[in-house]
Chains A and B, each alone.
Chain A
Amino acid sequence: MKDKKKFQINKYIFISILSICFGIFVWWLVTDGLGIFRSNALPSPVKVFESFIKKWYETKPDGATLLEHLIASLQVALGGYVIGAVIGIPLGIFMAWNDKIDMCVRPVFDLVRTIPGVAWTSVMVTLVGIGFLSKALVIFISAMVAMVINSYSGIKQTKTVHLWVGQTFGASNWELLTKIAIPSALPMIFTGLDVALGSAWTTLVAAELLASTKGLGFMIQQARGIFRLDIVIVGMIVIAITGAVLSTIIQWLGRKMIKGGRT
């Protein structure tokens, strides 16, 4: 019985691998195989793989290697993200904990959060010009918004009975917050860190497409201009992998930090 189940799971993994192989084969067939698509419309998988290897040491056509672009992007994204989290988490907690502040700030915040991060690019570029600072500011805003929303709802979801336990023991307001509300909101805060990371990374790509001289977004935009779609696809793959790796790190950190088997 157990063996049969194991076999079943293996069967589906096998189908998944087969499905991927088939997909890549079709991709190869319509490009290199039968030549239906030319490389400036859809490059073959072989070509994309070659470019992926080459781009690590070649600066052509956009003036920097893949690693340099990646580091440039990471610097901006993580810089804005960390500051966004450092300000956003306490702000969200504070808003949720203080009723009057909550009622005042909520409407303004609800309005600001509907503005996609990218839209701030124009404002920042006009204010401080194209460069590290304008992008970092845009990412800061979009990361902060996600952080505030999640830590806010984390604190709001604290069970009343948990607060009551603290109150009947005579805990002060500060103790209720730090010993009960924040630990109980921790899973949501980590969700926020993950969501904010996703939105920071997306916003970064957008900002780099729009206004930049380096970074992965810049690289794919430049490559598009000269119809080097192989490099565009390489860029997209690196963007996706980097985003996934960063998110995995946050989730791993969350599992380490969140006690008591809550996810």
Chain B
Amino acid sequence: MAEKQKRVAFGALGIFIFLCIWYAATTLTSLGKVMPDPITVLAGFFTAFVEPIGTHSMIMHILVSLRRMLIPYFFGGVLGVLVGILMGWYKLADAILMPYIQMIRPIPPIAWIPLSIVWFGFDEGSKYFLIFLACFFTIALTTYNGVHSVDETLVRAARMLGAKDNQLFTSIVLPTTVPYIFSGLQVALGSAWATIVAAEMIRSSEGVGWLIISGQEVGNMTQIMVGIMAIALTGLLITSIMRGVESKLCAWTVRGK
């Protein structure tokens, strides 16, 4: 399609203009004293794949951060979906658990960092805990909203036709809820990524967040920008993968497109 080609062309132009402004700002003005130009940053980024920064190469930093994020993301997701469905379906579970969720959710996951360090030490444990918190509440609540959005008349119609609870669940509740779950997973992914970066910046010895903070400590702006680039690209990659999975699995929803 011509429209698509136009889009790509303008997009490339946009990025090119952005890089030009960046380049001009750093080479022509005094900003260059503190900020490296884009070529240096790009070169630094690719060099980092072969020459390690600290004890790891770039790919290892990214993988370490991803592992820290994905393991608790998985558990937070599974548990969040289960609790969300439980609360959505059973009023009693709703009444018991909802007050806790409502009380704990307004606390930003990042604010748990000091407590998690005391409870789980400086190692992986505290990071897993944080990411779990960052994912669990979001996913539980969106799932809960999904179950609540199920059309009452559909449920009544199915009941009248003699559907059992488990049939109701698989044929009505689940299809309605899945798009909600995905939107929750999507939001949680973004917030998990932000949280892991923050957690690594506060205490770690490797990972993309560490790249930035160790750059700050020695005043190496190039390393900071390389770290930011790694964060942006990895973030973009995982959200695109998530969106791809979503559009495959929920082809019937508008959100999936």
Contacts and interface: CB of A to CB of B under 8 A. Distances in A.
**Is the A/B pair a real complex?**
yes
Interface of A: 12-13, 15-16, 19-20, 23, 40-41, 100, 103-108, 110-112, 114-123, 125-127, 198, 201-202, 205-206, 209-210, 217, 220-221, 223-224, 227, 229, 232-233, 235-237, 239-241, 243-244
Given A15-B92, A108-B15, 6 more contacts: A12-B91, A12-B95, A15-B96, A119-B201, A126-B215, A210-B198
A114 B236 contact: yes
Nearest to A11: B95
13 contacts: A15-B95, A16-B98, A104-B11, A111-B232, A116-B197, A121-B201, A122-B224, A126-B34, A206-B201, A209-B202, A224-B118, A236-B107, A243-B108
B185 interface: no
A154 to B, nearest CB: 16
A224 B225 contact: no
Contact of B111 (A103, A104, A114, A217): A217
Contacts of A16: 95-96, 98-99
A12 B34 contact: no
B197 to A, nearest CB: 5
B106 interface: yes
A209 B97 CA distance: 30
Report whether over half of chain A's contact residues are helix, strand or loop; otherwise say mixed.
Answer: helix
Interface in B84-117: 91-92, 94-100, 103-104, 106-115, 117
Contacts of A127: 34-35
Interface in B179-213: 190, 193-194, 197-198, 201-202, 209, 212-213
Contact of A123 (B103, B107, B194, B224): B224
Contact of A108 (B18, B92, B96): B18
B26 interface: no
B175 interface: no
A114 B190 CA distance: 8
Contacts of A100: 10
Most chain B CB atoms below 10 A, which of A20, A103, A120, A198: A103
Most chain B CB atoms below 10 A, which of A20, A23, A123, A243: A123
Interface residues of B, number: 60
Contacts of B18: 108
Contacts of B108: 198, 201-202, 205-206, 239, 243
A249 to B, nearest CB: 14
Interface in B66-95: 91-92, 94-95
B216 interface: yes
Contacts of B95: 12-13, 15-16, 19
B198 A107 contact: no
Contacts of B135: none
Contacts of A114: 190, 193, 231-233, 235-236, 239
B111 A239 contact: yes
Nearest to A107: B11
Contacts of A240: 103-104, 106-107, 111
Nearest to B6: A103
B221 A126 contact: yes
Contacts of A233: 115
Contact of B10 (A15, A104, A224): A104
Contacts of A108: 14-15, 18
Contacts of B219: 126
Nearest to A125: B216
A75 to B, nearest CB: 18
A72 to B, nearest CB: 16
A221 B106 contact: no
A110 B235 CA distance: 10
Contacts of A239: 107-108, 111
B114 A209 contact: yes
B225 A123 contact: yes
B146 interface: no
Contacts of B221: 123, 126
A171 B34 CA distance: 49
A123 B228 contact: yes
Contacts of A244: 106
A12 to B, nearest CB: 4
Contact of A119 (B12, B106, B112, B227): B227
B111 A205 contact: yes
A140 B12 CA distance: 27
Contacts of A110: 236
A122 B201 contact: yes
Given A127-B34, A240-B106, A116 B224 contact: no
Given A104-B14, A108-B14, A206-B198, A119 B107 contact: no
Contacts of B232: 111-112, 114-115
